[in-house]
Amino acid sequence: MKSARPARSGLIRLRPATGIRAALMFGLVLALAGCATKEAPPPSRVPPAQPQVHETPPPQTGPSFTRDPARFYTPAYMAGQRPIRVALLLPFNSPRENVRSLSNALYNAAQLALFEFDAANILLMPKPTGNTAAGARRAAEEALIAGADLILGPLFAEEVGAVAPLAAQVNVPVIAFSSDSSVGGGGVHLLSFPLSEDVNRIVDYATLQGITRFAALYPYGTYGERVRNIFRQAVSARAGDVVTSASYPPNPEGMYQPAQQVARLWNAY
């Protein structure tokens, strides 16, 4: 049975901040990075400890790559300085035009932040991830070998999951742009709005307009599954009904069949 209320539809896109907002966001991060110091604090005098018996800890696994300070990247104009190296991992070479545009916008915002905050001691090292977990891992390893003190990015949850273990091996913090809270922690900090907050805000707005029937299109992969689950929970908590949903591949042409499937099931409801 169809609802007596006229059907309405709309598209709400969730995307990371760009422009001035992103520049301020980067500025805060880069300013904190610029204040960091590598000097050890002076030794403090402590009373001699009583002898204790300690168990031998298990051997620690070393990093899968070598970080040799002699190979750290320093451009000619910064010769003789100790720059704070900040790697920026983004899918500049993604096959999707909108993702490439977003990556370039974030890169421009980071450059603007460097200029506005006069962060002369910070060296920005952009690295393309290819919008894949393997590409992100490769970019992170290159950045860490080049001496990265901080990693900004990646953009998507699967990429963050691939980068995090590498950075953890050498205690380099990661500030990622994913909204998937499941990839946070263990040295990974998320500079984004939590996915659950975004989804709940959208469903709240729709229900305030009297809408109780929903349909959803979500991307393939782990992130899409989280979107689907959070969306269903949000709709159910507000006594709504998810009439139909479908997942879609990353290429634009792949949207047609899932969209037709959703439309067909919606009209048959």
Q: What's residue 162's pLDDT?
A: 96
Q: What's residue 197's pLDDT?
A: 84
- Which amino acid is residue 237, in one-letter code? A
Confidence of residue 103 (pLDDT cuts 50, 70, 90): very high
Q: Per the confidence metrics, is the pTM higher than 0.75?
A: no
Neighbours of 209 (CB within 10 A): 10
Q: Kindly state the DSSP code that residue 79 receives in the 8-state scheme.
A: T
Tell the burial category of 153 from Cβ atoms under 10 Å away from its Cβ (0-12, 13-18, 19+): buried
Exposure on the CB side of residue 137, measured as CA atoms within 13 A:
11
The answer to whether 20-27+74-190 and 195-268 have equal CATH topology is yes
Return the ∠ at Cα 221 (arms to 217 and 224), rounded to 5°: 35
What distance, in Å, lies between the first and last C-alpha atoms of the chain? 6
User: 127-152: per-residue pLDDT in tens?
Assistant: 999 999 999 999 999 999 999 999 99
- Nearest CA to 166 out of 185, 189, 143, 182 is that of 143
More confident residue, 42 or 223: 223
Domain range 20-27+74-190, CATH class: alpha beta
User: CA-based Rg of the chain, rounded to a whole angstrom?
Assistant: 23
* CA 191 from centroid of its chain's CA atoms: 7
Q: How far apart are CA 19 and CA 24, in angstroms?
A: 9
Confidence of residue 7 (pLDDT cuts 50, 70, 90): very low
Domain boundaries, the chain: 20-27+74-190, 195-268
- What is the DSSP code string of 182-239? GG-BTTEEE-S--HHHHHHHHHHHHHHTT--EEEEEEESSHHHHHHHHHHHHHHHHTT
User: 178-196: per-residue pLDDT in tens?
Assistant: 888 888 899 999 887 677 8
Q: Tell me the two tokens of residue 206.
A: 């729709």
- Judge contact between 244 and 262, C-beta under 8 A: yes
Mean pLDDT over each residue of the chain, to the nearest integer: 80
Confidence of residue 119 (pLDDT cuts 50, 70, 90): confident
**Token pair 């300690």: residue:** 54
The kind and range of the H/E element at 89 are: strand 84-90
- Please tell me the CATH superfamily of domain 195-268, with its number: Response regulator (3.40.50.2300)
Q: Is residue 142 classed as helix, strand or coil in its secondary structure? A: helix
- Judge contact between 128 and 88, C-beta under 8 A: no
User: 62-101: per-residue pLDDT in tens?
Assistant: 677 889 999 999 999 999 999 999 999 999 999 888 889 9
134 φ, ψ (degrees, to nearest 5): -65, -40
